Structure 1
Amino acid sequence: MSEKRILIASLLKPINDTRMYEKLGLSLSKLKDTHVYVCGFKAPLPAASPGNLSFQPFFSFKRLSMGRVKAQLRFYRLLEEIKPDVLIACTHELLLPCYAYRRKHKVKLIYDVQENYALNLLKQNNYPPLLKQALALGVRSIEKWISPKIHHFLLAERSYADELLFLENRYTVLENKYKPSVSYTSPATPVMIKEKPLRLLYSGTIGEEYGIFEAIALAEKLFQVNNTTTFTIIGYCANKGTLHEIKQRIKEKGYIRLVGGDKLVPHEQIIEEINGSNVGLLPYQPNDSTFRCIPTKLYEYMAHALPILVQQNPLWHSIVKHHQAGISVDFNNIDEQDLTTTLRQTLFYTSSTPENIFWRTEEDKLLQVFHQMNQ
């Protein structure tokens, strides 16, 4: 039997991206007689990857530049070179070159829907009103136009099944559950903070919609209650204006530190910070683009038994309550004295680390999709 070639690609995600490489890539590398290629933005190559998995650190350009357009042409030439049997597009921006390639070659096209891109453009404040409407319309038009040619959709959120009407019944939900490293060990539970200094953590994408300024405000309040409080912000911020405002806000506040900001941070470094913290913050502000999504960091925090402060939301509240993982609060209306007392008196993770938050359940579903494709 000849070796099958699977190409997983994203325009902006780094080649060591958690979902693209650690989850999809490593899971698919377990298929017999298969070689997996991961194509993405230039980043350090992961160590000790399997022999049947190769990297194409193909993209390197400024986010707002013509390089972003030229990259799609370069990507098409890469497709002609590798000649994949299965092509997984992890962003809407690669759908057009994938479609062009599919018209000329026998290949099964899979769209890994990591976000509801059109809804994000409409509801988040990254562009002027008219521009974001035009961009959202363009993205949705491309998705609808190409959807009949897509063999299968992978959905990072259950809510997308209701929001994206072009999916029909050709989809599988693969949530962004936690993929533990080889060195991972189950944390000790139950967890109680008691009189320990509060070590607050905000990790992942840094943005206004994700509540970064509310998180900073909370850290400032808790520091006034107890000056042993520290706060770490770790992740990447794509908005230069937001990043500048953050730096101004935390300047001369030694108890707050920023890791990353203008550059991507390796996932292992984020996990190290999770293990060194005792309160994880999820201060997402109410927004239609995130209200029905489960943040990846929620799974990460629970996998490491990190107590969580989560913005009030019925979906998130049900998860943290069921697993005794944290407390739902309104980040815009917090009594810091009461919160400090509650954090120190609450026993978290009384039933150990939840079993249903790990990627292995999603890996089984992913491999089943490919087994069915080969039948």
Structure 2
Amino acid sequence: MRILVVTVVHHPEDARILHRQIAALKERGHQVMFAAPFAARQVTPRPDVEGLDLPRAAGRDRRTALRAARTLLAERGPDADVVILHDPELLLALPGTLRRWRREGRAPVTVWDVHEDTAAALVMKRWVPAPLRLPLRAAVRAAERLAERHVRLLLAEDAYQERFRKPHPVVPNLPVVPREHPAPPGPDRAVYLGHLSRARGALDLIETARLLAPEVRVEVVGAADPDVRDALTAADRDGVLRWHGYLPNDRALGLLSGALAGLSLLHDQPNYRHSRPTKVVEYMAHGIPVVTTPNPLAVDLVRRHRCGLVVPYEDPAAAAMAVRRLRTDPDLRLGSAERGREAALSELDWTDRGAEFVDLLERWTKEPEGVLV
């Protein structure tokens, strides 16, 4: 098959898009055209995909990116057997495009990969004026229900099913669990892997690192929202923590091996209540104990598999105390790491689900095209 993958929001090195889905498609021998904001993110496309550059959609200014995406879909969509859209904004580019494709008899299977609870995420965006948040939430819910009539849906979480009228296949956001056994967790380094924002606990990470120094150093990997960048830069400059900035997924994961603990300090926000934090599963997969706030799906993983400790929301002192407990109790540290890795290998490995993802796309291309109702 020829697959066109499109995003104007996500980083071109996004783990789910590039390192999981595109990698699974390439492994099966399919051709991939990948449209993403390469220039805006200063990224060179990987040599095994056809890279197509798009503007980046950020903050309130998304019109330029959407116009470019609409043009690209109209021109390159008919060259593909499957088009995968990774941003809800891209649904706005579809109405006229779908009609044109169908009129010309060249309509690819069109798929929306639902990464998050979009309506709940909008409430958290500081660039959305407060009076508009509830109306926008309602509008997004209506758009989602309309979208499921016209495109195929893939969901990243089982809990997302309740937003839609019909059941849709779930392709969970799982890491590739390395087959080689990782180094055992050491006593002096905690890590955080993922995007950084207030709601994701960026400021709590800084204070936790301050409380742990100098016995335990905290390493932070990820891009940051504008309102926390200065604080992270200052903390890195002052030696409170080491902020690596954004790193490609394969390089970022290399920093996990041998760490004392992996930190996930998400706040209590609607968008996080129904999503399994990918970083928690990545910590488990790489054999390090988890320290997490009590988001329901994270708590389920940690308590069911006994692979870490749960701390209260927005409580850096409790997070630091949990890291110290792991540091001073080698049996707890090593046991948590081993149990987490065993669970990841047996239940949470993208290697198994990636094949199902490709099978699903291949099956959809063989089904009759039509409006989905």
TM superposition score category, shorter chain reference:
0.7 to 0.9
CA change 1:343–1:315 in 2 (3 A) is farther
Residue 255 of structure 2 aligns to a residue whose secondary structure is: helix
1:272 aligns with 2:272: no
CA change 1:299–1:341 in 2 (3 A) is closer
Contact 1:305–1:325 at 8 Å: present in 2 too? no
Unaligned runs of 5+ in 1: none
1:87 aligns with 2:83: yes
Q: In structure 2, how many angstroms separate the alpha carbons of the residues matched to 1:221 and 1:275?
A: 23
Residue 159 of structure 1 aligns to a residue whose secondary structure is: helix
Aligned to 1:233: 220
Q: In structure 1, how many angstroms separate the alpha carbons of the residues matched to 2:318 and 2:121?
A: 28
Residues 339-362 of structure 1 show CA distances to partners (whole Å, capped at 9, x for unaligned) of 513443113234453312211222
Letter in 2 for 1:131: L
CA RMSD of aligned residues (A): 2.6
Aligned to 1:156: 156
Q: CA deviation at 1:142?
A: 2.7
Q: In structure 2, how many angstroms separate the alpha carbons of the residues matched to 1:125 and 1:65?
A: 10
Q: Taking structure 1 as the reference length, what is the TM-score of the superposition?
A: 0.83
Contact 2:311–2:319 at 8 Å: present in 1 too? no
1:344 aligns with 2:328: yes
1:258 aligns with 2:246: no
Q: CA deviation at 1:318?
A: 2.5
Of the three residues 217, 220, 224, the one matched with 2:210 is 220
Compare the two structures and name the one with the higher helix fraction: 2
Q: CA deviation at 1:62?
A: 6.8
Q: In structure 2, how many angstroms separate the alpha carbons of the residues matched to 1:257 and 1:267?
A: 18
Letter in 2 for 1:71: A
Aligned to 1:179: 176
Contact 1:192–1:344 at 8 Å: present in 2 too? no
Q: In structure 1, how many angstroms separate the alpha carbons of the residues matched to 2:257 and 2:326?
A: 21
Q: How does 1:5-154 map to 2 (within 5 A)?
A: 5-31=2-28, 34-42=30-38, 43-45=42-44, 47=46, 49=48, 53-56=49-52, 58-61=53-56, 63-64=58-59, 66=61, 68-82=62-76, 83=78, 84-105=80-101, 106-123=107-124, 125=126, 127-150=128-151, 152-154=152-154
Contact 1:86–1:108 at 8 Å: present in 2 too? yes
Q: CA deviation at 1:337?
A: 5.4
Q: Taking structure 2 as the reference length, what is the TM-score of the superposition?
A: 0.84
Q: In structure 1, how many angstroms separate the alpha carbons of the residues matched to 2:185 and 2:64?
A: 52
Please say which of residues 94-103 and 350-359 is displaced more in the overlay.
350-359
Aligned positions, number: 347
Aligned to 1:208: 198
Compare the two structures and name the one with the higher strand fraction: 1
Letter in 2 for 1:254: G
Q: In structure 2, how many angstroms separate the alpha carbons of the residues matched to 1:20 and 1:313?
A: 24
Contact 2:293–2:312 at 8 Å: present in 1 too? yes
Q: CA deviation at 1:338?
A: 6.9
Residues 99-157 of structure 1 show CA distances to partners (whole Å, capped at 9, x for unaligned) of 3221111222111001111111125555331133343344333323332111x211111
Q: In structure 2, how many angstroms separate the alpha carbons of the residues matched to 1:175 and 1:138?
A: 26
Q: In structure 2, how many angstroms separate the alpha carbons of the residues matched to 1:207 and 1:296?
A: 16
